[in-house]
Amino acid sequence: MPNTKEDQRYMRAAIGAAKIAEDNGDIPIGAVIVYKGQIIGKAYNQREQLADPTAHAEIIALTQAAAFVQSWRLNGCTMYVTLEPCPMCAGALVLSRMDRLVYGCSDPKSGACGSLYNIVQDKRLNHRLEVTSGILAEDCRQQLQNFFEQRRKKLTIDN
């Protein structure tokens, strides 16, 4: 059963990670992975920083968590991420055998965990995740909106 207070605590950690992405000029998305009450993966978007289209917060956090448990199977783990995962990240979550996904705000343009697709709960796949959405959604949404607003202002000033 989801614990909202606990979910909010870990989502705040993901929001903190997203701030690092923002400070580095990347879209502010953060992710943490929790196992037995311990954060074993904590990452933020690094696509711009690494010039890597796969350097999403979720993928980097999955790599960290797998290294921690020394297995690609992340049974018993929960991922907290500020924005609904895209198809690539949703597929990676299924392949990792993650138990649960908690995300902040929905992504109607590329969300693959209930908005546009629902890869993580597709009955045709060999694994499905429990999903909780909307945890600190307004904080997550505001962080993204502020980032893009600042980016538009900078583009206007530079042109």
Query: Which residues have CB under 8 Å from 159's CB, separation 6+?
Result: none
Angle (CA) 126-127-128 rounded to 5° is 135
Q: Which residues of 115-133 are buried (b: 16+ CB within 10 A; e: fewer)?
A: ebbebbbeeeeeeebebbb
Q: Please report, as a single letter, which amino acid is at residue 116.
A: L
Q: Which of 6, 58, 84, 138 is catalytic?
A: 58
For residue 144, which of 6, 30, 24, 3 has the smallest C-alpha distance?
A: 30
Tokens 């980016």 -> residue? 151
48 is catalytic: no
10 in Cβ contact with 80 (< 8 Å): yes
Question: Which residues are CB-neighbours of 145 under 8 A, at least 6 positions away?
Answer: none
Q: Which residues have a catalytic role annotated?
A: 58
